[in-house]
Amino acid sequence: MEWLFELFHQVNYELPKFVQFLIVGLTLGSIYGLIAIGYTMVYGIIGMINFAHGDIYMIGAFQAMIVLLICGTLGISWVPLQLLLMLVVAVALTAAYGWSVERIAYRPLRGTQRLAPLISAIGMSIFLQNYVQLVQGPRPKPVEPVISGGVTVLTRADGFVAQLGYLQIVIVLLTVALMAGFTLLITRTSLGRAQRACEQDMKMASLLGVNVDRTISLTFVMGAGLAAVAGMMVTLYWGNNDFHMGFNAGIKAFTAAVLGGIGSLPGAMLGGVLIGLIEAFWSGYFTAEYKDVAAFSILVLVLIFRPTGLLGRPEVEKV
């Protein structure tokens, strides 16, 4: 029985550290996951990677920041109202960007070669970055913390505390709520049914009276809206926006989407959370130097054994 007690003691000692990395990883993973959904939804329906999606997220972050600054000048200091305004305005404007990008850069190319919209997406990404660099300037924009402080979850014998920030709670809860809402939307509403129909066979869906163009547009709008939520969260969380921030986040989120199984909504979320956790635990228990290497190595390993990702369905060849 002695060893059991010893083990319990050891676990009890290691727990706060573990919990701290769990909190950090989950928060980061939620953000990656929200962006990854935009990649995976678009891929699910039109089979194309929207490389401008990371930059849509960057646009969302800038919109949220601008709303926050306007709140400041108008004297709106009640935090819940600030958050609500940021959420509504940033999501609405960023969704408009998502819609426009689809209209301008992808729809005219639909039905042509597969690579054409992909190249167009890269062009859009470059355009959006340079546009923001020109209108907002190239320097990182600092944002004052809106929500700070947190609660102590666990305390270790030597005084180490696992801290859970209020903002981290908001981020994770908001992500869970959005995911629940989205699952309902896809499985229970007529729009969700139309999306699933387009995913399976676009031509057949249009023959059966589904407005394919509208469905695809709405998919882009929803993806951009979720990216805007992620952008708003990082504006509050890190408080440091620059025109280039969409690139790294986009690559990570894309990786998350592929890891989870591109085309699958729960997969994107799972992939995002996994990447966040791998980064956090790797930095914590090994070295922060190689955390990206760790994340990408896991991706490679998963793809070797499950080429369609963790939750992806094996592809049925369309004839």
Partner 1 sequence: MSKKFSLATLAVAATLVVACGEEKKEEAAAEQAPATTEQAAAEPAAAEPAATQEAAATPAATGGEIVVAVAGPMTGDLAAFGEQLKRGAEKAIADINAKGGVNGKQLKLEIGDDQCDPKQAVQVANDLVKKGVAFVAGHFCSGSSIPASDIYAEEGIVQITPASTNPDFTEVPASKGVKTIFRTCGRDDAQGVFAGPWLAKTYAGKKVAILDDKSAYGQGLANETAKNFEASGGTITIRDTYTAKEKDFSALISKLKDAAIDVVYIGGYHNDVGLITRQSREQGFNADIVSADALNTAEFWSISGPAGEGVRYSDGASAVNLDSAKDVVAAFRAENYEPEGYTLNSYAAIQAWAEAANKAGSVEGAKVADALRAAPIPTVLGELSFNEKGDLTKVNYAWYVWGADGKAVQEPLN
Interface with partner 1 (CB under 8 A): 17, 20-21, 24-25, 27-28, 47-49, 51, 114-115, 118, 122, 125-126, 129-130, 133, 138-140, 142, 144-145, 148, 150, 152, 158-161, 163, 165, 234, 238-240, 242, 244-245, 247-248, 251, 254, 258, 262, 279-281, 283-284, 287-289, 291-292, 307, 315, 317-318
The region, left, alpha or beta by phi > 0 then psi within -120 to 50, assigned to residue 263 is left
Q: How far is the CB of 1 from partner 1 (least distance, A)?
A: 30
Give backbone dihedrals phi and psi of 315, rounded to 5 degrees, phi first: -75, 130
Rank residues 79 and 126 by Cβ distance to partner 1 and give the closer one: 126
Q: Which residue in 31, 52, 49 sits closest to 39, CA to CA?
A: 49
Rank residues 49 and 83 by Cβ distance to partner 1 and give the closer one: 49
Q: How far is the CB of 146 from partner 1 (least distance, A)?
A: 11
Q: How far is the CB of 133 from partner 1 (least distance, A)?
A: 6
Give backbone dihedrals phi and psi of 305, rounded to 5 degrees, phi first: -90, -30
Decide if 217 contacts 99 (C-beta within 8 A). Answer: yes
Q: Fill in the amino acid letter for 104.
A: I
Rank residues 266 and 284 by Cβ distance to partner 1 and give the closer one: 284
Q: What angle do CA 65, 71, 77 make, to 5 degrees?
A: 115
Give dist(CA 302, CA 261) in Å, integer.
Answer: 10
Give dist(CA 26, CA 153) in Å, integer.
Answer: 15
Q: How far is the CB of 279 from partner 1 (least distance, A)?
A: 6
Rank residues 159 and 209 by Cβ distance to partner 1 and give the closer one: 159
Q: Which residue in 243, 251, 245 sits closest to 127, CA to CA?
A: 243
**Sole residue written with tokens 């699952």:** 183
Rank residues 95 and 235 by Cβ distance to partner 1 and give the closer one: 235
Q: How far is the CB of 246 from partner 1 (least distance, A)?
A: 10
Rank residues 45 and 95 by Cβ distance to partner 1 and give the closer one: 45
Cβ-proximal residues to 269 (8 Å cutoff; 6+ apart), any chain? 33, 36, 37, 175, 179, 260
Decide if 228 contacts 91 (C-beta within 8 A). Answer: yes
Give dist(CA 257, CA 251) in Å, integer.
Answer: 10
Rank residues 191 and 303 by Cβ distance to partner 1 and give the closer one: 303
Q: Which residue in 254, 176, 258, 235 sits closest to 58, CA to CA?
A: 235
Q: Which residue in 207, 315, 299 sits closest to 255, CA to CA?
A: 299
Q: How far is the CB of 131 from partner 1 (least distance, A)?
A: 11
Q: How far is the CB of 180 from partner 1 (least distance, A)?
A: 25
Q: How far is the CB of 117 from partner 1 (least distance, A)?
A: 11
Give backbone dihedrals phi and psi of 48, rounded to 5 degrees, phi first: -130, 145
